[in-house]
């Protein structure tokens, strides 16, 4: 199936936090390989591995110093090959991160580039002279705080970094850089990977004229925790040349039939529209953004995002996610909307797995896992440390996967402490305690994943027709004819009743929902799926 990715469910693994097999407190590739059965038994189609490449770990692997090797903390290339082989035996595709926008400042190419202005790598990164008053070339800001320009005394120039000072941006206007990154992609494709997730996919090219970004056009009552959000980033990223690079990537992937791409749209302006642009025919296969990773849990919100995408990009393809390694877990973000933590977690799983598009699950969300409360001295994440106490950093969501109720949750058997702590609230939500237990969050995810896979209207590209329903009910029909499915969700901790017509047999997973004599009873965080038996009407 060459389009296996269309409607597929991908499970994101954060290598540092999934399973530690050598007892050093940090997860590794052998540990992931041992735990792949969990992902396969859950019912996922693919596994996405966050970076495992050689790195000084200033940004936990998103600062790469060797694009074609495994960092020793995670293992070896042979361990990676064994992981891919095992995944394929289990029927899982393997997608790996590609962090191409920037490298580590410890990468040998940057060490060469900063020596002088005439070396062979002098133009591989973004350098520029200071203004006459010594200030940086423009007002571009770093996502991690402060100016996006850092002075280098050797070259007597500034270099550009969208993120940490230790993460200098490549100069994609240099065709040699693009050619070299193509070689990096082909290296991993030749090793048998099934696809790539591209980090910060809209960041690759910068404005060649270095024009300053204007102020954000959206009115703010007060300054946000991160002043980066006070600018409208139309020059520091989001350049039209990015789309040409997407088209080149697609041509590379076409040389390896059955492979797929997904891009991370790192953008707070027009993200849904840009997801469509980046997945237009001949570009990326799919794209996700942070649009559904906020605090809104209303029917109009979810309806608006899905309708916006497919109206603007009928030939594009989205990947939807509620959580990942960069945001607060949704069981924590949306807690006030649930009668209980379990009820909310079960509903959120059923909700996203009924959406039109591909789906990405973040490790631990199938357990109803919550963010870990961490003190400042426990943090390792530069974003969390720089902006303490808000916005909340990323370590809180990255704490180790909890496999059982033993010390450290079965994540590590070593004598040392795990790289981030496993605390009691997270320890209580472990795989062993939920496996085989009817009604557990884990078993509800397994049931819903099986239902999605067995139901063509949910798994495929069947269009979504939203029903006009009163808040807090979200309802839509996926598919047509005999395959049509009505999906209904009460996104609140309260109960309500609706008169109903056109609903046939109730099918699939359910929670606090029943149809009795033409009246649909929806309890707290209700989930219901029905066949269609006529014109659907609810009111």
Q: What residue ranges in 367-495 does DSSP mark as E strands?
A: 464-466, 473-478, 485-490
Length of the chain as a residue count: 539
| 424 Rama sector, left if φ>0, alpha if ψ -120 to 50, beta otherwise | alpha
**How far is it, in rounded angstroms, from Cα 365 to Cα 401?**
10
| Closest alpha carbon to 18 in 43, 46, 39 | 39
Question: Does residue 33 contact residue 83 with C-beta atoms inside 8 Å?
Answer: yes
- Per-position DSSP letters for 187-221, written without gaps between them: HHHHTT--EEEETTTT-S---TT-PPPPBPSS--S
Q: How far is CA 135 from the centre of its chain?
A: 36
**How far is it, in rounded angstroms, from Cα 165 to Cα 121?**
19
Instruction: Please state whether beta strands 93-98 and 149-152 pair in parallel, antiparallel, or not at all (unpaired).
Output: unpaired
CB atoms closer than 10 angstroms to residue 435: 15
Instruction: Tell me the catalytic residues.
Output: 199, 264
| Closest alpha carbon to 32 in 12, 13, 57 | 13
Q: Measuring CA to CA, how many Å separate 461 from each of 236, 260, 353, 478?
A: 35, 17, 13, 9
Counting other chains too, the contacts that 35-39 makes at CB distance below 8 Å and 24 or more residues apart are 35/401, 35/403, 36/83, 36/86, 36/87, 36/90, 36/92, 37/90, 38/431, 39/11, 39/13, 39/90, 39/92
**Residues whose CB is less than 8 angstroms from the CB of residue 80 and which lie 6 or more positions away in sequence, other chains included:** 29, 52, 70, 191
| Closest alpha carbon to 239 in 101, 415, 48, 58 | 101
Question: Does residue 509 contact residue 448 with C-beta atoms inside 8 Å?
Answer: yes
Q: Measuring CA to CA, how many Å separate 472 from each of 331, 497, 515?
A: 18, 12, 18
Instruction: Please state whether beta strands 195-198 and 93-98 pair in parallel, antiparallel, or not at all (unpaired).
Output: parallel
Q: Measuring CA to CA, how many Å separate 181 from each of 108, 212, 236, 298, 366?
A: 15, 28, 21, 41, 35
**How far is it, in rounded angstroms, from Cα 258 to Cα 194?**
7
**How far is it, in rounded angstroms, from Cα 354 to Cα 306?**
12
**How far is it, in rounded angstroms, from Cα 526 to Cα 508?**
13
| Closest alpha carbon to 50 in 41, 59, 38 | 59
**How far is it, in rounded angstroms, from Cα 475 to Cα 477?**
7
**How far is it, in rounded angstroms, from Cα 459 to Cα 451?**
9
């Amino acid at each position: 199936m060459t389009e296996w990715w269309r409607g597929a469910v991908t499970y994101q693994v954060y290598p540092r936090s999934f399973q530690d097999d050598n007892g050093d407190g940090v997860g590794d590739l052998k540990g992931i390989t041992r735990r792949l059965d969990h992902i396969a038994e859950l019912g996922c189609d693919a596994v996405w591995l966050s970076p495992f490449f050689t790195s000084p770990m200033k940004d936990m692997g998103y600062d790469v110093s060797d694009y074609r090797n495994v960092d020793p903390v995670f293992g070896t290339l042979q361990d990676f090959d064994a992981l891919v082989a095992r995944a394929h035996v289990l029927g899982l595709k393997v997608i790996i991160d590609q962090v191409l926008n920037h490298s580590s400042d410890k990468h040998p190419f940057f060490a060469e580039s900063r020596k002088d202005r005439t070396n062979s790598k002098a133009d591989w990164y973004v350098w520029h002279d200071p203004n006459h008053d010594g200030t940086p070339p423009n007002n571009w800001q770093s996502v991690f705080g402060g100016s996006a320009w850092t002075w280098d005394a050797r070259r007597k120039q500034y270099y550009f970094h969208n993120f940490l000072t230790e993460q200098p941006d490549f100069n994609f206007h240099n065709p040699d850089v693009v050619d070299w990154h193509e070689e990096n992609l082909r290296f991993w494709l030749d090793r048998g990977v099934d696809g790539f997730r591209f980090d910060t996919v809209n960041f690759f090219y910068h404005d060649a004229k270095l024009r300053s970004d204007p102020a954000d056009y959206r009115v703010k009552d007060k300054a946000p925790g991160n002043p980066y959000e006070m600018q409208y980033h139309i020059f520091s990223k989001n350049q039209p040349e990015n789309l040409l690079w997407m088209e080149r990537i697609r041509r590379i992937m076409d040389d390896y039939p059955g492979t797929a791409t997904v891009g991370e749209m790192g953008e707070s302006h027009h993200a849904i529209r840009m997801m469509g642009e980046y997945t237009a025919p001949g570009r990326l296969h799919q794209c996700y953004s942070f649009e559904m990773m906020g605090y809104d849990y209303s029917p109009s919100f979810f309806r608006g995002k899905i309708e916006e995408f497919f109206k603007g990009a009928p030939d594009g393809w989205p990947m939807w996610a509620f959580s990942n390694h960069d945001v607060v877990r949704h069981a924590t973000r949306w807690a006030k909307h649930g009668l209980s933590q379990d009820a909310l977690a079960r509903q959120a799983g059923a909700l996203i797995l009924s959406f039109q598009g591909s789906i990405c699950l973040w490790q631990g969300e199938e357990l109803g896992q919550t963010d870990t409360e961490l003190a400042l001295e426990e943090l390792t994440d530069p974003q969390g440390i720089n902006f303490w106490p808000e916005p909340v950093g990323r370590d809180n969501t990255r704490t180790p996967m909890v496999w059982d109720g033993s010390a450290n949750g079965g994540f590590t058997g070593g004598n040392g402490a795990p790289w981030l702590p496993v605390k009691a609230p997270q320890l209580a939500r472990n795989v062993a305690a939920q496996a085989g237990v009817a009604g557990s969050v884990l078993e509800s995810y397994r049931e819903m994943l099986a239902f999605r896979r067995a139901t063509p209207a949910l798994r495929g590209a069947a269009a979504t027709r939203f029903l006009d329903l009163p808040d807090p009910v979200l309802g839509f029909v996926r598919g047509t004819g005999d395959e049509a499915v009505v999906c209904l969700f009460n996104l609140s901790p309260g109960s309500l009743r609706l008169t109903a017509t056109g609903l046939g047999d109730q099918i699939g997973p359910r929670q606090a929902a029943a149809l009795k004599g033409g009246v649909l009873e929806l309890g707290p965080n209700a989930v219901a799926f029905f066949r269609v038996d006529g014109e659907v009407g609810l009111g």
